[in-house]
């Protein structure tokens, strides 16, 4: 694409030739390719203009920046608002792929990932093949790519959407985080449906106030053509189609939950979904609402959702052990309460709290575990640059019942499995699908479920060698 086509009718100025061919757009100088337009944007902790010369050395033929540099030979596109222009340029370069897809965005404090997977599963079952951009992974056709963020950067999002179009997807489902909304990562994406799962205090280290956090979530609702809301969420005062257990346009009847799944009726249609927990009822209702918006009959939606296989690291079960991503007080309490209602023996939980994240989580998670678990083992999560022992100390300070402490996460999981008896449940919380720990600036390979399976396999082998 020629530069003149890329910048047509945009409010900016150009120093240099507009006839040059642009082979790609990039905001990371480390991955610039020959012929690229380098976007030198600024953030609260970085200045992209410092990397212009690296980008030029790598082959960038044009620079989007806010200040003209007379010593550069490359074409310069000048705008005082680089971040605002970036989203428009990137969407245009990839030919506005969201306009060719039925795009569903999912935001909220909890339930984004499971709801996104449910909606993708439903759309696939309705022959509307969907791509997925989530906290766990990005899925395009048969290809799966592990994610590092809930909501990717502007360029990645548009590139993924373009790939979905190329692979003949008809739809896309995206998790949309408050950070992603605040930083404009989903600008120039046309959302056909926006789902608001719920709202409770979180990420206040970044947003500072609950009101600021809520306003960022509202941005998805404002930009969506059709809105689906959780009417039971106490922040659910927006207008749109609503679902809920207590109130809303869509409500379940004869709700029953047990260790194998959840059953309920909607307008005489009986649903049986292989997910446990009251919170998963909300996630399922959100997906059902999408199907109804598309004009599908409840019976068809029911049949598709009955085949749902679950989400990696979201109350993922292996025998009597559950691995879940719950990393806030509200999320941990929801999961523990759910398991407490169905366990026949004790409920044992292993958890920690992430370093360099909202410290309020340490208090709320500690209180949740103290309230609902019969035995808590406090351990390390992703300490990042913080002292894991200090994080543990802050968590333990909020217990009334004395927990066990084991800073080594692998040893903590082993301890829980060794202490568990036949009818006990063990919950490993906080990291879910993650395949590494962040410790002191390093990524250390570590997967909770892999540790669980290995330990239980060894226990079984030992029992076979030394039968009682």
Per-residue pLDDT reduced to its tens digit, 413-433: 999 999 999 999 999 999 999
DSSP state of 280: H
Would you tell me how many other CB atoms lie within 10 Å of the CB of residue 28? 14
- Res. 467: pLDDT tops 70: no
The reported pLDDT for the residue numbered 209 is 79
Tell the residue number behind the tokens 């120039």, with chain if given.
Answer: 188
Which of 32, 220, 207 is closest to 112 using CA atoms? 220
Q: Which two tokens stand for residue 209?
A: 């106030």
In the sheet with 13-15, reading across from the earlier edge strand, the strands are 13-15, 75-78, 62-65, 36-39, 24-26
Buried b vs exposed e over 348-363: b needs ≥16 C-beta within 10 Å? bbbbbbbbebbebbbe
Tell me whether residue 458 is in a domain.
Answer: yes
Tell me whether residue 287 is in a domain.
Answer: yes
* Alpha-carbon gap, residue 41 to 389, rounded angstroms: 38
Least confident of 303-307, 330-334, 455-459, 461-465: 461-465
Q: Which two tokens stand for residue 111?
A: 């339930």
Least confident of 64-73, 84-93, 211-220: 211-220
* Alpha-carbon gap, residue 97 to 87, rounded angstroms: 13
pLDDT band at 149 (very low <50, low <70, confident <90, very high): confident
Q: Are residues 120 and 224 in the same domain?
A: yes
The more confident residue out of 274 and 178 is 274
Q: Are residues 140 and 268 in the same domain?
A: yes
Q: Are residues 41 and 133 in the same domain?
A: no
Tell me whether residue 439 is in a domain.
Answer: yes
Phi-psi region of 137 (alpha: psi -120 to 50; beta: other; left: phi over 0): beta
- Res. 64: pLDDT tops 70: yes
pLDDT band at 396 (very low <50, low <70, confident <90, very high): very high
Please give the C-alpha separations between residue 263 and each of 11, 260, 306, 366, in angstroms, as whole numbers. 55, 10, 10, 31
User: Residue 395, exposed/middle/buried by CB under 10 A (0-12, 13-18, 19+)?
Assistant: buried
φ, ψ for residue 246 (rounded to 5)?
-90, -35
* Alpha-carbon gap, residue 366 to 218, rounded angstroms: 30
Tell me whether residue 85 is in a domain.
Answer: yes
CATH code, 81: 3.40.1390.10
- Res. 251: pLDDT tops 90: yes
Tally of residues, the chain: 468
Q: Would you say 19 and 6 are in contact if contact means Cβ atoms under 8 Å apart? A: no
The reported pLDDT for the residue numbered 84 is 87
CATH code, 169: 3.40.1190.10
Query: What number is the average pLDDT over the span 141-168?
Result: 92
Domain span holding position 429: 316-465
Tell me whether residue 310 is in a domain.
Answer: no
Q: Are residues 70 and 168 in the same domain?
A: no
- Res. 148: pLDDT tops 90: no
Tell me whether residue 240 is in a domain.
Answer: yes
Q: Are residues 210 and 301 in the same domain?
A: yes
Q: Are residues 149 and 48 in the same domain?
A: no
Which of 81, 2, 70, 79 is closest to 35 using CA atoms? 2
Domain boundary among 46, 61, 93: 93
Q: Are residues 83 and 176 in the same domain?
A: no
Q: Would you say 213 and 202 are in contact if contact means Cβ atoms under 8 Å apart? A: yes
pLDDT band at 468 (very low <50, low <70, confident <90, very high): very low
Could you give the percent of the chain with pLDDT greater than 90?
81
Q: Are residues 263 and 330 in the same domain?
A: no
Q: Are residues 197 and 59 in the same domain?
A: no
Domain boundary among 63, 93, 123: 93
The count of structural domains within the chain is 3
Query: What number is the average pLDDT over the span 233-256?
Result: 89
- Res. 464: pLDDT tops 60: no
The reported pLDDT for the residue numbered 462 is 66
Phi-psi region of 277 (alpha: psi -120 to 50; beta: other; left: phi over 0): left
Q: Are residues 15 and 58 in the same domain?
A: yes
Q: What is the tens place of the pLDDT at every residue in 39-61?
A: 998 865 568 889 999 999 999 99
Q: What is the tens place of the pLDDT at every residue in 182-239?
A: 888 899 999 999 999 988 655 556 556 767 777 887 888 889 999 999 999 866 667 8
Query: What number is the average pLDDT over the span 385-409?
Result: 97
Q: Are residues 14 and 81 in the same domain?
A: yes
Q: Rounded mean pLDDT of the chain?
A: 92
Domain boundary among 77, 93, 109: 93
Q: Are residues 22 and 144 in the same domain?
A: no
Tell me whether residue 182 is in a domain.
Answer: yes
Least confident of 43-52, 106-115, 342-351: 43-52
Tell me whether residue 111 is in a domain.
Answer: yes
Could you give the percent of the chain with pLDDT greater than 70?
94
Query: What number is the average pLDDT over the span 111-138?
Result: 96
The reported pLDDT for the residue numbered 170 is 98
The reported pLDDT for the residue numbered 154 is 94
The reported pLDDT for the residue numbered 8 is 94
């Amino acid at each position: 694409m020629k530069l003149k086509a890329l910048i047509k009718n945009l409010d900016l100025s150009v120093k240099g030739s507009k006839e040059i061919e642009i082979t790609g757009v990039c905001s990371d100088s480390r991955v610039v390719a020959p012929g690229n337009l380098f976007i030198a944007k600024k953030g609260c902790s970085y200045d992209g203009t410092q990397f212009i010369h690296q980008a030029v050395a790598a082959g960038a033929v044009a620079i989007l920046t806010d200040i003209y540099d007379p010593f550069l030979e490359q074409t310069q596109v000048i705008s005082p608002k680089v971040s605002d222009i970036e989203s428009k340029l990137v969407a245009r370069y990839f030919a506005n792929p969201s306009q060719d897809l039925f795009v569903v965005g999912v935001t909220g404090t909890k339930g984004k990932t499971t709801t996104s997977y449910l909606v993708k599963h439903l759309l696939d079952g309705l022959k509307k093949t969907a791509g997925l951009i989530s906290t766990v992974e990005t899925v395009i056709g048969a290809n799966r790519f592990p994610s590092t963020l809930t909501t990717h950067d502007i360029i990645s999002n548009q590139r993924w959407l373009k790939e979905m179009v190329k692979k003949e997807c008809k739809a896309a489902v995206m998790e949309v985080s408050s950070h992603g909304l605040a930083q404009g990562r989903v600008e120039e994406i046309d959302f056909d449906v926006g789902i608001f799962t719920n709202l409770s205090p979180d990420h206040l280290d970044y947003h500072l106030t609950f009101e600021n956090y809520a306003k960022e979530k509202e941005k998805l609702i404002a930009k969506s053509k059709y809105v689906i809301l959780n009417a039971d969420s106490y922040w659910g005062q927006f207008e749109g189609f609503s679902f809920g257990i207590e109130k809303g346009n869509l409500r379940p009847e004869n709700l029953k939950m047990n260790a194998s799944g959840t059953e309920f009726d909607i307008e005489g249609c009986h649903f049986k979904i292989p997910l446990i927990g009251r919170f998963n009822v909300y996630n399922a209702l959100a997906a059902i609402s999408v199907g109804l918006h598309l004009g599908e009959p409840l019976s068809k939606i029911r049949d598709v959702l009955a085949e749902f296989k679950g989400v990696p690291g979201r109350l993922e079960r292996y025998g009597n052990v559950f691995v879940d991503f719950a990393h806030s007080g509200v999320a941990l309490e929801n999961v523990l309460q759910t398991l407490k209602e169905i366990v026949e023996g004790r409920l044992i939980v292993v958890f920690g709290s992430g370093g360099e994240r909202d410290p309020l989580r340490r208090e709320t998670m500690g209180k949740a575990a103290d309230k609902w678990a019969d035995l808590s083992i406090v351990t390390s999560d992703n300490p990042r640059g913080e002292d894991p022992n200090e994080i543990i100390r802050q968590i333990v300070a909020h217990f009334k019942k004395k927990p066990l402490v084991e800073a080594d996460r692998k040893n903590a999981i082993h301890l829980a499995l060794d202490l568990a008896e036949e009818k006990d449940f063990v919950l490993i919380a906080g990291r879910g699908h993650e395949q590494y720990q962040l410790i002191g600036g390093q990524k250390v390979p570590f997967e909770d479920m892999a540790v669980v399976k290995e330990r239980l396999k060894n226990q079984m082998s030992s029992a076979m060698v030394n039968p009682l």
